Chain A
Amino acid sequence: MELTKEDMVKLFTTMLTIRRFEEKVSELFLGGKIPGFIHLGIGQEAVAAGCCFPLKKEDYIANTHRGHGQCIAKGADIKILMAEIFGKATGYCKGKGGSMHLASLDLGILGANGIVAGGIPIAVGAAFSAKYRKSDQVVACFFGDGATGEGAFYESLNLASILKLPIIFVCENNHWAEFSPQSTHMDIEKVAQKALAFGNIKGETIDGNDVITVHNAMVKAIERARRGEGPTLLECNTTRYRGHYEGDPQKYRPKDDLESAKSNDAIERFKTFLLEKNIVTSKNIEDIEGEIKPKIDEAVKFAEESPLPLPEETLKDVYS
């Protein structure tokens, strides 16, 4: 599937929407308007956008605590998303989940997850279900490099390999597992090397800040999954700008690490590419920015004006 010019503009718009959405969440959180814990994926937008673009609406994703971006890229309404992050009754989970537990089965979003690697076994279950029902659906399962230390990661990849399930394991390798660099939790250079342990899983490492590369690799992985040839472990090297959580001063992080991350900005790179190839003009870029800003403002307004859940709502929804 070759990307058309129109597709590229859509991809760029998605990436920029995620960036502006999360910048706004950061601002609101630090201003005391958003409760709880917030984990931002600023700098990682190309992975979410590039991987979700070739998915169909009925395909599934499972994602992580750093999961706003994938939800937006899979089609979440930023108003409802923002309302959930605010803990409002109008949010995707009626305020019962929050930033770490965004989910919408209607959009194929099986859930962000507060447990590192917790969503991986569930994603495998959804892939099993797709194969069982012969539905031709695939699953994109997102997780970070830190998650590849969890037992659930190995169990899940092994099971998915044995059953040859239609799943793409997308490792967003930002090289930081919470507060610790990759070198402290992995003795190999590439997460994709871990695919060798299983048999039917194809491992691939790509530049996760190049959205076209991400997209093209994902297209191949999806085709492989739909052909019934088995899972792919797609390692996308990317960059985390913010701390593990909002408010994390990142004292553990060398200054030059953050600076070099920012010099490899996925959005800037894609913008330069689009301008150099004459796919867009500077004016087009300004227009896209101009369209996103009021949408973000509208999402914030919706979230702020939405009602809080009634206290009695606490007791509902425990059982079907």
Chain B
Amino acid sequence: MPETRYVRAINDALKEEMERDPKVFVAGEDVAIAGGSFSATRGLYEQFGKERVVDTPIAESSIVGLAIGAALTGLRPVVEIMFNDFVTCAMDQIVNQAAKIKYMFGGKPKLPLVIRMPAGAGMNAGPQHSQSLEAWFTHIPGLKVIMPSTVYDAKGLLKSAIRDDNPIIFIENKILYSLKGDVPEGDYTIPIGVGEIKREGRDVTIVATSQMVHKALKAAQTLSAEKIEAEVIDPRTLSPLDKNLIIDSVKKTGRLVIAYEAVKFCGYGAEIAAIVSEEAFRFLKAPIKRVAAPFTPIPFSKPLEQFYLPKDTDIIQAVKEVVAN
């Protein structure tokens, strides 16, 4: 299988889906001539032209509205919000409009649209360019939320997202853009709503999302040397959640650590902890632990940001605490 980078996999998925279906178009800030601020849309303008690759003003609300109106009338838009943080400017269109249109109009409309946005800290991008806001969207019925951690998953899930008939929040990770990984030649998709066991283990389940999957795998390797075998699960799709994959794993290991990059309080990991408490409490041998960010904005300066970010060593410590029980 050829090796490529995460951002290239996104780019290939867009290109292939646009070749496959003339109803697919791309719009957003700097996505056409400039090729996207992280190069995710590079080359699309040259191949498909200005009708299908549309540079928009810096106006997130109208970018999402463009997608909604186009999706309602037969197209399959993929729009880019340059940073996860900027989606705040489009929240009415996403939350009150896109998420609810099918339901409040009695079920008939289909709304096949994808809103891509890079999230995550670690680039010294500061408090307004680094957040992971996935939990805002998983809280809204009507949206599907996808957050891939690997090159293979990024491509396969983006293709599925573009072919899906629902509004989808597709959260990429800026640090992962340069990650290398293998992808098969030709077309493949990964089903939405299906998680994956990234590493099998018997002693503890670590559920991790996005960049934290890689930290969890690193932690698992370290722990293995100490005879602790961690099972690492990546839900890949946060909504709808493949909860049985997690529950079955917890039934096997009896221990759960949840690792996510967002602020711990009211984060996505809280929902996983609650589901496991409700549905698999009697299998738990130890309290559930969350490894996530402190309740602060994301600081700019290097030592501050490094302090802020949850690390593989934090996962190791959490695992040791639950295994000790």
- B-contacting residues of A (Cβ < 8 Å)? 60, 62, 91-97, 101, 103, 105, 110-111, 113-115, 118, 120-130, 132-133, 151-152, 155-156, 158-159, 162-163, 316-320
- Nearest chain A CB to B315's CB is how many angstroms away? 33
B109 to chain A, nearest CB (A): 6
| Contact call A96/B69, Cβ cutoff below 8 A | no
State which size class the interface on B falls in: 35 or more
Chain B residues with Cβ below 8 Å from A120 are: 65
Q: In the assembled complex, how far is the CB of residue A83 from the closest CB belonging to chain B, in whole angstroms? A: 11
Tell me which residues from 78 to 125 in chain B have a Cβ below 8 Å from any Cβ of chain A. 92-93, 96-97, 101-112
**Among A91, A101, A151, A155, residue most surrounded by chain B Cβ atoms (within 10 Å):** A155
Residues of B within 8 A of A126 (CB): 69-70, 72-73
A320 near B62: Cβ-Cβ < 8 Å: no
The answer on a CB contact under 8 Å between A318 and B61 is: no
Structural contact, B65 and A125, CB atoms closer than 8 A: yes
Cα–Cα distance between A122 and B62 once the two chains are bound (Å): 8
Question: Complex formed: what's the CA distance from A316 to B105 in Å?
Answer: 12
Say whether B142 faces chain A, with CB atoms less than 8 Å apart. yes
Contact A155 B70 (CB under 8 A): no
Chain B residues whose CB sits within 8 angstroms of the CB of A118 once the complex forms: 92-93, 96-97
Residues of B within 8 A of A111 (CB): 101, 105
Contact between B105 and A103, CB atoms less than 8 A apart? yes
User: Shortest distance in angstroms between A318's beta carbon and chain B's nearest beta carbon?
Assistant: 5
Of all chain B residues, which has the CB nearest A101? B104
* Across-interface contacts of A318 in B (CB, < 8 A): 102-103, 141-142
In the complex, the answer to whether A319 meets B166 with C-beta atoms within 8 Å is yes
Summed over the interface, the residue pairs from A and B with CB atoms below 8 Å come to a total of 142
B144: which A residues are within 8 A, CB to CB? 319
Which chain A residues border B96 with CB–CB below 8 Å? 114-115, 118
Query: Nearest residue in B to A89 (C-beta to C-beta)?
Result: B106
> Which residues of chain A are near B247, meaning CB under 8 Å?
none
Contacts A101-B105, A122-B69 given; does A155 touch B61 at CB 8 Å: yes
> What is the CB-to-nearest-CB distance from B113 to chain A, in angstroms, rounded to a whole number?
9
Q: Are A132 and B104 in contact (CB under 8 A)?
A: no
Q: Is the CB of B166 within 8 A of A320?
A: yes
**Shortest Cβ distance from B164 into A: residue:** A320
For residue B74, which residues in chain A have a CB less than 8 angstroms away from its CB?
129, 133
- Which of B52, B56, B75, B103 contacts A129, CB < 8 Å? B75
The reply on B68 being an interface residue by CB < 8 A is yes
Q: Are B66 and A159 in touch, CB under 8 angstroms?
A: yes
Q: Which residues of A contact B109 (CB under 8 A)?
A: 103, 105
Q: Which residues of A contact B142 (CB under 8 A)?
A: 318-319
Cα-based distance from A171 to B82 in the complex (angstroms) = 32
Residues of A within 8 A of B26 (CB): none
B103 touches A124 (CB 8 A): no
- Sorted from nearest, which 3 A-B pairs have the closest CB atoms? A121-B65, A125-B69, A317-B107
Of B67, B104, B111, the contact of A320 (CB 8 Å cutoff) = B111
- Contact (Cβ within 8 A) B72 A124: no
Decide if B64 is an interface residue (CB 8 Å cutoff). Answer: yes
Q: Are B110 and A121 in contact (CB under 8 A)?
A: no
A125 contact set on B, CB distance < 8 A:
65-73, 77
List 12 extra interface pairs beyond A121-B69, A132-B51, CB under 8 A: A93-B106, A105-B109, A111-B105, A121-B68, A124-B65, A125-B68, A159-B56, A159-B62, A317-B107, A318-B103, A320-B102, A320-B165
Residue B57 at the A interface, CB < 8 A? yes
Q: Is the CB of A122 within 8 A of B72?
A: yes
